[in-house]
Amino acid sequence: MTKSTTSSAKSTIANRKWWQVLGPGIITAALVFGPGSLTVTSKLGAQFGYQLWWVVLVAVGFMVVFTEMGARLGIASPVSSLTIIQRRWGKVVARFIGLGIFCITASFQAGNTVGAGLAFSELFGTAIEPWVIFFSLLAIGLLFFRSFYRVLEKIMIGLVGLMIVSFLITLLLAQPQWDTLFRGLIPGVPAGAEVLTIALIASSFSVVGAFYQSYLVKEKGWSQQDSHSGRRESIAGVLILGLISSFILINAATVLYPQGIPVNSAADMGLALEPLYGNTATVIFMLGLFGASFSSLLGNATIGGALLSDAFFGNHQLSDAKVRRAILLVILIGAAIAQKFGRLPLELIIFAQAITILIAPIIAIALLLVAKDAELMGSLKNSRWQTGLAVLGIGVLLFLAITHFRMQFLS
């Protein structure tokens, strides 16, 4: 390539409009923020007001570090992340990670399916079961599009936009106490908030989502020339995740905390709005709940299916038939459990959390070691400060894993 051609290519990339580079980061934000995250964030705001807003910002900060690292890896490496892991540490490790992530996504999928169905059952006053079937079939139908990634990208951007608008409107209706709000940026964990704080960090700091970012940038077709805009978009996507989480916590702290109204499900926050702000506020919030649930339903299944297929068959492209069949399997598992139980069974939550405890630190360490490799990463390798922040993030993951294990299995 001549010098003038290279300059032209870089100029073309630099002149792209902001919406032309949206995609992988938005998808990551959409799949990470699901009904579980919404419930935990609402519960924190309802019980402790604005006091734990700082936790959202810290969790999102670590998510930015690892998501941006995953984006650089996807751009720099000619092969998938699991292929790199297999070549360096063996097929057993790669398959353990791929199968583990599949089990995690399949286990949590029922919660996403129930959340999507619940939003519309509340809106129309109907049973949840028909909506569970409808949205599962809709997700399956999307798999038949020839360019599934492009369809996924457009849907995720639309659903994230729906969440932002819905939760922003409810925030403006709630009218937060701004003077008290910013005190929530002062670190501190009130008594009784330890479990929920851990849950919030775990739900917002998703190493699995950050790891899959390396696959999404490949689906987008980014190369070294796109590294600047790609990394910027990845960071923007995660910051949007933090924005949505902040909206939810502030809403709950403003509306529910003063009245002492508890939150036990993702729908409770929306239903609590009606007596104060009318049916319109509840409808708007439920649309946001649908956006969070259906985006996670699609994204969760995509991660689980793609990584399972990559680990065992060496295929990860969303256009591949084996990948689509694996994605279909996750959707069907979620729909079957949702239809049978109408919720996410506690046993599955414990099972998925136990696997997450094992896999999340392994993925984070593998991602860091590869991102530090100058031979593979070239100019995109980690800087010292990026490595330092990643090590700190791994420390947080190990602390969460040990704490959760002691609370769940030794108490």
| pTM, 2 dp | 0.89
Nearest CA to 285 out of 276, 219, 12 is that of: 276
Q: Is the pLDDT of residue 11 over 50?
A: no
Residue 64 domain-assigned (yes or no):
yes
Q: What sign does the dihedral 345-351-353-355 (CA atoms) show?
A: negative
User: Average pLDDT, stretch 354-372?
Assistant: 90
User: Average pLDDT, stretch 210-232?
Assistant: 85
Q: Domain holding 204: CATH number? A: 1.20.1740.10
Q: What is the pLDDT of residue 72?
A: 93
Residue 9 domain-assigned (yes or no):
no
Widest distance between CA atoms in the chain: 67
Residue 136 and residue 331 in contact, taking contact as beta carbons nearer than 8 Å? yes
Domain count, the chain: 1
Least confident range of 18-22, 37-41, 78-82: 18-22
Q: Is the pLDDT of residue 200 over 90?
A: no
Q: Is the pLDDT of residue 130 over 90?
A: yes
- pLDDT interval class at 22 (50, 70, 90): low
- pLDDT interval class at 220 (50, 70, 90): confident
78 Cβ contact partners less than 8 Å away, ≥ 6 residues apart? none
| CA distance between the termini of the chain | 63
Q: Is the pLDDT of residue 263 over 70?
A: yes
Residue 229 domain-assigned (yes or no):
yes
User: Average pLDDT, stretch 47-61?
Assistant: 92
Residue 80 domain-assigned (yes or no):
yes
Q: Is the pLDDT of residue 14 over 70?
A: no
Scanning the structure block, which residue is given the tokens 């790199």? 84
Residue 316 and residue 310 in contact, taking contact as beta carbons nearer than 8 Å? yes
Residue 261 domain-assigned (yes or no):
yes
Q: What sign does the dihedral 266-394-375-2 (CA atoms) show?
A: positive
Residue 157 domain-assigned (yes or no):
yes
H-helix or E-strand spanning residue 108: helix 91-124
CA 108 and chain centroid, separation: 12
Cα–Cα distance, 33 to 112 (Å, whole number):
10
Going from the C-alpha of 346 to that of each of 15, 259, 403, the distances in angstroms are 50, 29, 19
Cα–Cα distance, 303 to 28 (Å, whole number):
10
Q: Is the pLDDT of residue 112 over 50?
A: yes
Q: What is the pLDDT of residue 411?
A: 62
Residue 8 domain-assigned (yes or no):
no
Q: What is the pLDDT of residue 113?
A: 93
Cα–Cα distance, 274 to 307 (Å, whole number):
42
Cα–Cα distance, 357 to 169 (Å, whole number):
36
Q: Which domain holds residue 354?
A: 19-410
Geometric angle at alpha carbon 122, from 129 and 346, rounded to 5°: 60
pLDDT digits (tens, 9 = 90+) for 306-328: 999 999 999 999 999 999 999 99
Nearest CA to 281 out of 269, 293, 265 is that of: 269
Q: Is the pLDDT of residue 351 over 90?
A: no
Cα–Cα distance, 248 to 236 (Å, whole number):
19
Q: What is the pLDDT of residue 295?
A: 92
pLDDT digits (tens, 9 = 90+) for 133-142: 999 999 999 9
